[in-house]
Amino acid sequence: MNAIIVEQIVVTTLRNCCLNNGLSIEIKKDTSLIGSNRVLDSLGLVNFIVDIETAFLDIGVEISLTSENAMSSRISPFRTVGSLCRFIENQLGLVNG
């Protein structure tokens, strides 16, 4: 597991979620997941979070995006694709600090 695979999983999962909602957009690291420019509605975000957890589980990697850490962070890890990738990399111990 490395940062590239994390990003691939996150981007692929988000792309599929968007397609399921009839959205065909280019997904970049600064693509917003919450806020006024978000690409998914609130239910779409919930499904996306669940799909991310399951996508990692499908390759034998356990992460929890509903952990206390994720949900109570002062700055949400769900702001953008990039911030979510960094949060997952942290959970998996792929980055220091």
Partner 1 sequence: MDRIILITGSRKGLGKLLCEYFLKQGDIIYGCSRRNASIEHSNYHHFNLDVSDESAVISMVRTIYKIHRRIDILINNAGIASMNHFLLTTFSTAQKIFETNYYGTFLMCREVSKFMSKQKKGRIVNFSTVAVPLHLEGELVYSSSKAAIEQLTRVLAAELGPNNITVNAIGPTPIQTDLIANVPKEKIDKLIQKQSLKRLGNFEDVLNVVQFFIDENSNFITGQIIYLGGIN
Q: Which chain residues interact with partner 1 by CB under 8 A?
A: 43, 46-47, 50-51, 53-54, 57, 60, 62, 64, 66
C-beta of residue 48 within 8 angstroms of C-beta of residue 40 = yes
CA distance 39 to 58: 25
Q: Which amino acid is at 42?
A: S
CA distance 92 to 27: 23
Query: What's the min distance (Å) between Cβ of 50 and partner 1?
Result: 5
Which is nearer to partner 1, 33 or 49 (by Cβ)? 49
Query: What's the min distance (Å) between Cβ of 12 and partner 1?
Result: 15
Query: What's the min distance (Å) between Cβ of 26 and partner 1?
Result: 25
